[in-house]
Chain A
Amino acid sequence: MSQAENTKHLTPQAGLVKLTMLISGAVFALMMLIGVVMRASQGGLLDMEPDLFYQLLTTHGAGMVGTAGLSGAGIMWYFLGRHVNLSAKMYIGFLALFLIGVVFILVSTFVGHFGGMWTFLYPLPAMSAGAWEPWAAAAFMLGYVFIGVGFLLYYLAVGVAIIKKYGGLGRALGWHVVFGKADVTEAPPPTVIAAAAVTIFNTLGIVVGAAVLVASLVNLLVPGFVVDALLAKNMIFFFGHVFINASIYMAVIAVYELIPEYTGKKWKSSKAFILAWSAILLFVIAVYPHHLLQDMVMPAWMLVMGQIISYLSGVPLLAVTAFSMCVYLHGSKFKWDLASSLLVLAVAGWSIGAIPAIIDGMVVVNQVMHNTQWVPGHFHIYLLIGEVGMSFGFMAWLVKSKSQKQSGMGAMDKLLLTSFAAGGAGFTLMFLVSGALSVPRRWAVHMPEWFLQDRLATIFALLVVFSILTQVIRYATGLSRNTAK
């Protein structure tokens, strides 16, 4: 790519995004260290009180989900800034609210000993049996409210900017091309289509999340105010599912924008691409009942819908995003570097992780796999290797110097990539094996017969932590060196 093109692609708020990715990278590393400690404790290698384990598990879950959202938001903001005018003030507001929320959550877990999980499943926050005070649960949920309001601000800025330029979210989704008479050359760029879809479904998700958070907060203050537990669970899992999906659908924009820089082939907004993103918009909203397959009081049609849409969600991922990436890579003869390797690995991880997820989304399988370690097994594949891989691929690209661009992969790059990929694969495989052996998820204390997988997982996790910590340090030092992007 020429210097002129590089200049054209400068994002006005690149500094803010770089800061976002630094925060994300550091928090990812810290949360991974907590993960290692928890797996070591489950494997009998560390002696930890159950209370502390559940606090760490809550911190790990909320921290990872929040950081996945933050890093995805950073990526989307950076590349969307190439196509529309985005407000720096709104982004600063989003970041500030996010960080205030993080402080509330950390105070809640480490000072208030809140251990009710990132899912705050009603009515657990208000009924801890003495493990934490109501104020700690309130602080945790208020932290979520701050983060949620921050994200709503973020999507408001994105939505307004997209509508200003494209004249509506429908046009930004490319519907005038597939449902109207417009030619495919008039379709918005892939980044805009993805951003429009994510803005719609994650705004919906966060609004539903805010409603159930407020209801749970009122329940804390006025215990007589009772919420229907099934309704609350539906709302929580709708919010949680949509939010975590949004993180990876925002992060994949890095693949759409950066892979073309390597292959020299522009990622096109074809009709298949537009239809795929319209399907994603529908599927992300409608698939959440697959989290409630063991709630037999749920209407059967919703559970059937959860299973079928779980499966269908794999179609746009595999037949459009992954397939197109493979086509673009073919014969492009570029020189691999850490950034491109991580981005391609991330799409592979996302696709591979979809397999155990889809299988678990079948009612008949879910009967014996639900809430076993199979579940963290599949979501760690597409979140760790997928979302985190995309984030670190983007970070590696952000700080890539011109000399590195010529040299491709250095020995250290190869070591970091191998350590991340092998560690991630081994770590997640141990979860899947444990799930198949009926090991329940979220148990502070494990049976001795489960120790082998726990200990192997600890070793694999250390490989991942080594890679991620080193990449964060290299990114931080690279930021001061490189100001080209």
Chain B
Amino acid sequence: MEHNAIIEIDSLSYRYPKGRNLSLKEVNYRVKAPKFTAIMGPTGAGKTTLTAVLNGLIPQLYEGNIKGRVLVQGMDTQKFRIQTLVSNVGLVMQDPETQIFGITVQEDVAFGPSNLGLNMETIKERIPEALKAVRLEGYEDRLTSELSGGEKQRLAIAGVLAMQPEVLVLDEPTSELDPVGRSEIYAVVDRLRRHGNLTVLAVEHSSEDIAMRADEVLVINDGKVVWQGEPRLLFCNAPLLQSVGVRPPQVSEYGWQLYQQGLIEQADIPLTVEEAAAVTRKILSDRTIPASSKSVSVKNKRPDSDSPVAVEIKDLHHDYGSVQALRGVNLTIKRGEFVALVGQNGAGKTTLVKHLNNLLQPTTGEVYVDGVSTAGQSIGDLSRRVGYVFQNPDHQIFCSTVREEITYGLRHLDLSSDEIEQKVQEVLGFVGLKGVTERHPFTLGKGERQRLAVASILAMEPNILVVDEPTTGQDWAGAQDMMNLIRNLNREGHTIIMITHDMPIVAEYAQRVVVMHRGQIISDGTPAEVFCQENVLHQASLVPPQITQLAIALADVGMPADVITVDQAVELVTAAACD
């Protein structure tokens, strides 16, 4: 047979219709037998473009300039219609919201097969099969609008599986989900891999999720395949990862540092917590970490206890109709604190922070900002004290130039044009956007737009900043830029209240963690204190950073459980090993 490969990409280059540069450059890739390939790389590298090439969306829907050849199971994606190719290759995209067509779950699963013209008996057989594969058995008659994000994304996968493709392509399937949704999706991927001969390609930023799953990693940067091979070889090479903008699993970073110290071989750099524990035991042999070293230096110091109170919440309840979203929250935040608010979706985090600027009013209870009750204050007045940066910058941005965007909030204040200009330059300088003052916001990249949203809030000089999931959907470099910006704001004296699902980021940046669960605060302390409370984390469905998991696994050799960063762990182990 001429075509015996499942996927065959031959020197593929592609330019979008209005693109100045090539989005894909001379890409070659071949899959001969079913396997799981992870596609990694920074934002804008061409990962999504590559997924769209695989089922013919490029060039059939998005036109543009394509060179080279793509064959999926011998079918040329430029010659066969997309609607024909879908029976061979199923594509699931990022946003679950726009991939669901049915009012009920079963109608939605049936959408694909009925488009293919299958008869009703076959369709009715495929619905439960597909739902079972994504672990949504019994959901047939549920309304799709009432599903959670993770359930919606699994339904989107079921809808594609119902057409029984042999290749499943997932484009950042978990980037819009919380940790629970994320683990649900990967449980489904594991299941699909175990049962049947499915070839899976997934674009994913989280190296911890794919380290042990992927058979192969394809790293794409600037439209080119810059690295290809087994995950182990990629993750044990920190300089390579740094150069391609991929965040390594924490334990691999830990392993790399031990390797640098000459304590382990490069081949022994771990990928999982278990491997890391084994490696550590080997280094220590029968030594233990001395009890004296247990006082790990506190990374991010909280402000002095006599600093004034910025936010005080007293017995706050909030009901949406019959749903009790907040059930008696008490919280005091001092000026200058950096607080991370964590917990599952639906735990009440967003509901809580919306009380700070009166987007929501208490059902019962009181909220004080800078010592003044919010009751009776307008959102406009409070917006000068409490700045709220929403998760999606595009919801906040609407002007036609960056300058207008910044001055929008200022026009209600009594300022001269000189003062306004000075303010514009000041905030743009702070967020690193000088020189784009006259650009249209939508011509900026996602990270830049997010910084613009922050700048537009900063212009009003609020003391307290609420930041909702600042790193969601960003690549490593983007996330680090954003977090460094927030840290600088905190150092300038702003009180930061950050909602996030990213525990390593919490460990790295926050001074204090508040854990919410079902409308109540179930834990409140420093990251080190909170991350070693296993029962609390379990209740809130939170997974501590890998390095804390490692510390807990190494408790018997004297590793303190409150280790939250890689540097701390390396320091302790090195000291003990060189004893």
- Report whether chain A binds chain B: no
